[in-house]
Every structure is written in C-alpha cells, then in structure tokens.
Amino acid sequence: MALLLAIESSCDETAVAIIRGHTGEAAEVVASEISSQIPLHREHGGVVPELASRNHSLHLRGLVEKALSDARVTMEDIDAFAATTGPGLASSLLIGSTAAKGMACAMKRPFLGINHLEGHLLSPFLDRTTVPPHIALIVSGGHTLLLDVTGPGSYRKLGSTRDDAAGEAYDKVGKMLGLPYPGGPEIEKAALGGNPKAYDFPRSMLHEPHLDFSFSGLKTAVLYTLQKETGELPVADLAASFQQAVIEILVKKTLRAARQAGRKQIALSGGVSLNKALRNAFFAAGQSAGVEISVAPPVFCTDNAAMIAFAALLRHLAGESSALDGDIHPNLPLV
C-alpha cells in the first residue's frame, strides 16, 4: 500500500492532496485541500502571474499541514512526493515543484513530476488503480484535447484546438457579455434562462474530416452579433446560444472519435466538464450511441491536487520516479 502527497500549483489554485492505493485495489483520496484565488484575480479580469505565485507561497505550507492532519499521517508516513511540473505559469509551477522536491529530499523519498493534463485525463478514474481503453476529452480554460487512451501513459492525440480553447472562449464571451470572471460558470448560469436557438452561431470545423477544434470564429460571431444589438442586451439568449454551439461541437466530434477508434467508453475531464448542460448532452449522446460516459466528481474537475496524486500513484506503483534536478516545463505537451 503506497501513500503519496501531491501539490498542484500550475495556475491560480494552490492545492495539496494525499492518496492511498495499491495495484488492483481502489485508490482512496484521504485528504484534499484547495485554496482558490478567484476573488483575488476577479478584479483584474484574469490571472495575474505575480499575484498567483505570491499567494501559492503564502498558503502552501498551511495546506500541507492541514492535509497531513486530515489524513492523520505524518511526513514520515509518506512514500513519495509529487507536483505538477507543466504546463502552466512558470512562476506558479516553481512554487509547488520546489516544495515537493524539498520534502522528497528531506525525507529521502522518491519525487514524481506530473503533467497537469495527465492529471485531468486520469481524474474520471480516481476511484480505481486501472484505466481502461477509452477516448478522452480534456476541456479546460487553456486546453481542448482529444486523445485515444490505451492505458496510463499510453496516449495518442486525435485532435486539439487550433486557436482558443473552449474554456478560453467561455471566458472571453463572458467578458463581452459583461459577466464576472471566470466566464464559464457565469455563462452557464445565464444560459439557464435563455433560448439556445435564439442565435444561429457557427459550429466551426464540425463537418471537417479531421478531429481538431476551433472556437475563435464562434467567439468572433458573438462579438459581431453584439455590435448589431440595440437596446437591452439579451444576455440569457446569447449565453444559451453560444453554449449550445460549443456543446454541439464537443459532443459530435468526440462521439465521432469513439466510432473511428472503436472505443465504447469516453472520459470527460477538465474545468469545463463541470458544466451540467455539457454533461447531460454527453450522457444523452452516449446512451443513444451505446457508449459509456465517465466524468470525474465535480470537486475533482477543476484544478486540484488529488488528480495529480492519482497520476503519481499510478506511476509510483509502476516503479517510476523523476529526477530531483529536473526542471519545470510551462509548455509541456502531453503527447
């Protein structure tokens, strides 16, 4: 039985988690602490790197102590330490990575550097130590990535965004509509009272033979529509119509990928996977196509350390570790 402590600090969430697991048995997240910086960055309309790294430094030690206390373990009980080493903001990544390496060195334990995207990808399977073959859609503020997965560490990229990620488009359209940062959750709230057919926004690349995505044209279409509007802005209808276009693109392309790869399971992950309308659309499409849809529990969809701990646990159980002199990689690719 292995016990791992992991740190996630790739952007504006400071997170620490402790996980326990053994090959062939269900993994157990025994502690998960997150300090959100959303209120801090909201007044700036987006993440300010200097503020983010400064607050990681302020909160990290307290979160580590809280996680150890909640798990009722000591530093000596930890078998390995892990941290996100990319992709993300360089100044933020350095805080978590350096801290985890320091603890690993002090306790003479292995260190594992984890790809943030792999953490998201594996998060729908957090309750187990096996990952079945499936199609994975990672959809977040910075990434929209479609992969064929045969197992942990074995990923083949099928498609990605050629411009804005879906979550990035949500944030930018939210700003256009005068909604608070971050725009994703605010657009979802506004869309509840709107008509998704009020505006016929484009479904970019939906009928192209490839599996790449593009949301820049959709964002621009919303901007042009806003410029033509007079009087009170129909925010609810605009939000609902925009959201429906994003959902249709994501669902149809992912289902097409599953058909082409012959997969009967799809795993949805990343912050945008919290969107209830997106989840419901995937569940309905999966049921119709005979494809199982797996999504992480809501608490593990946004940036968190439990997903990093789980990815590290699988690698630790496979006998892997990372060099203590390894560097962070702000643009680290998954494949």
Return the SS3 of 108: coil
Encode pLDDT of 222-280 as tens digits: 999 999 998 899 999 999 999 999 999 999 999 999 999 999 999 999 999 999 999 99
Pick from 2, 93, 14: nearest CA to 326:
93
- Pick the more confident residue, 186 or 128: 186
Percent of the chain with pLDDT over 70: 100
Are the C-beta atoms of 117 and 248 separated by less than 8 Å?
A: no
- Could you tell me the pTM of the whole model? 0.94
Whole-angstrom distance, CA of residue 9 vs CA of residue 17: 12
Residue 25 confidence class, pLDDT cut points 50, 70, 90 = confident
Average pLDDT of the residues in 130-159 = 95
pLDDT score of 328 more than 90: yes
Q: 125-153: buried (b, 16+ CB within 10 Å) or exposed (e) per residue? A: bbeebebeebbbbbbbbbbbbbbbbeebe
| Span 62-111, pLDDT tens digits | 999 999 999 999 999 999 999 999 999 999 999 999 999 999 999 999 99
Rounded to an integer, what is the distance from CA 307 to the centroid of its chain? Answer: 9
Does residue 128 have a pLDDT over 90?
A: no
Distance, in Å, from the CA atom of 247 to the CA atom of 243, rounded to the nearest integer, reads: 6
In this predicted structure, which of 31-40, 76-85, 285-294 has the lowest mean pLDDT? 31-40
Q: Is the pLDDT of residue 149 over 90?
A: yes
